[in-house]
Chains A and B, each alone.
Chain A
Amino acid sequence: MTAVLQKKICMLGGFSVGKTSLVKRYVHSVFSESYLTTVGVKIDKKVVTLPDRTVNLILWDLAGEDDINSLRMTNVRGAAGYVLVADGTRPSTLDVALSLHDRVEADFGSLPFVLLLNKSDLKEQWAIGNAVMEGLQQRGWWVEPSSARTGEGVEDAFKDLAIRTTS
């Protein structure tokens, strides 16, 4: 068996921002309108083929952050990178994502991550200004709008993480 690079990637964000839907879109190319909350963690695998290597992304889709259920930091142990997800129609979820970023960085140091402002298909309800996104990009962050419904921004984000966690 050829050695395959395998990396643990955590999905982090507030509840109902679309973490599970993003994984479903990425791994199974499907999207469901119905919302099913995640309890604990759901683990999926996605094989990413890069020009010079193959990377298995082990996606840890962690239960969303809320007032009662705070992230168990031990679940992030061993992660090579993470995807921060915020819901572009609910500005408060961006604050949750930023706070998660700070907590992960405090416990595990600087890991590769991307920030997705999800639900970009809901343009009429969009509530995060371009200036906010550009401000974060100026800090050198990968910040992109995404949509689990249309697939916008999904593939690119994971591919970028696959490259950065293995180079």
Chain B
Amino acid sequence: MESLPASLAERLRELTYDEQAVAYLQIDAALTLVGAGGHLDNYGLAAICLGEPAVEQAFFLEGLLPLEETPYFIPSVELDCGRAADVHFHLDGDTVWVLLFDVTAYRDATRRLQQKAYEMTLLQEKEAQLNRRLEDTNRELEASNDFLARISTKISHYLAPQIFKSIFSGQKDVTIHTERKQLTIFFSDIKDFTATTEGLQPEEITLLLNEYFTEMSAIAIKHGGTVDKFIGDALVIFFGDPETKGTAEDARACLDMATEMQRRLAELNVKWRRAGTEQPFRVRMGINTGFCNVGNFGSVDRMDYTAIGAEVNLASRLQSIAESGHIVISYETYALVRDIVAARAMPPISVKGISRTVVPYVVEGVLDEAGRKIEIFSEHMTGLDFYLDPRAVDASAIESIRATLGNAIAALDRRGGQPGPKRVSRADQKSSPSKAGDKAT
């Protein structure tokens, strides 16, 4: 400093000693405070006592004495009084000198910058954390969606596909609510089911019934029918809800379905007979068209989507008066499908809950596009399982069918009026010429 011009030395003294509020402490080898000076009050050290242990006078010295390293520096130390100081230590002989420079303004400026940077980093951390949580939540959602999808697929097997679709798409509310709609209702039933399956094990009956219902349901769905329910061996299907193509189209679809079911049943009977089932399924069908209540019936806890009303009962009744292998329809249905089926009126019947006289019609065949009757022969009884749809027969098979039918008539003539066995035995069946007939169907 001596080499500096007096003016500069003075200015430097002002810049450091005054503006940085320099203060000092002097500590001897016994760690006693032996000297102090400068701006001590700036650091809350005005009241320190010389001759006392240094660390009791200035507690920031704790642990630092004796000095292990010289010079030693601790930047930006905030003391009790709130001021921040750069603290410099150096050893001169046995004496430790401690210099304090006020850096409060610098500390505050650094803090403002630091604060911004940390707040930014914290925000980024928070964002990353939120993103991770969002991803976790998405994964959980996907998992529960998968679970729901699996459950709903399972549930779907207990509901008609149209009902399932309309509930799960939100079109239908799951509340007790019904509507009055014009439906075509189909009932079918296996005639003498108990007697037919008498000799079968329960497992065999289950297999047969499941195959029968699966095949018939597939045909119903193909034609747009709503499979309402299975009651034992009976099947209830309606057309016109939840989807309708108009009353006439619904009735025609129902008839188309019924005739396709008959065809398929004939094929199934052949298959089952070959597999050893003695008695085939002989199915009666009834169809009616009329206004019914359709919707959710039951309790709030357990509902059934179904149709009820006298017109539904009538369809059931028509089924019960049908011969096995035949379809009986009401006049109301016949009026809608007369251009596609040939049918013969039966004696009128009366049905509870319906004031009009009901005239049933037994379907004798379908009509082609020109309105010509295409006869379908369908007779099923003990000893006979006969179905012939001449349209479906391959031209090359006609001669063979003709021969089989001739042989069949000759066989019947030979048998004459003698009573036969009650059941066809498997051995008889295998040697019977009906095999040729089976092929023709």
Contacts and interface: CB of A to CB of B under 8 A. Distances in A.
A35 B114 CA distance: 12
A79 B63 contact: yes
Looking at chain B, what size class is its interface with the partner chain? Answer: 20 to 34
Interface stretch (B117-125, B154-162, B267-275): B117-125
Contacts of A6: 55-56, 59, 62
Contacts of A4: 56
Interface in A1-56: 1, 4, 6-8, 15-16, 35-45, 56
Interface string B71-88: 011111111100010000
Given A36-B115, A39-B114, A77-B68, A58 B59 contact: yes
Interface in B224-238: none
Among A4, A16, A64, A127, residue most surrounded by chain B Cβ atoms (within 10 Å) = A16
A1 B110 contact: no
A92 interface: yes
Contacts of B59: 6, 43, 45, 56, 58
A142 B60 CA distance: 27
Interface residues of A, number: 34
Contact of A7 (B62, B72, B75, B111): B62
B62 A78 contact: yes
Given A43-B60, A58-B63, A79-B63, A37 B80 contact: no
B74 A39 contact: no
A121 to B, nearest CB: 17
B46 interface: no
B107 interface: yes
A8 B63 contact: yes
A68 B62 CA distance: 28
A39 B111 contact: yes
A80 interface: yes
Contact of B125 (A8, A37, A43, A92): A92
A78 B89 CA distance: 14
Interface in B24-67: 52, 55-56, 59-60, 62-64
A72 B397 CA distance: 103
A37 B114 contact: yes
A78 B69 CA distance: 12
B115 to A, nearest CB: 5
B129 to A, nearest CB: 8
A38 B115 CA distance: 9
Interface of B: 52, 55-56, 59-60, 62-64, 68-69, 72-80, 84, 107, 110-111, 114-115, 117-119, 121-122, 125, 129
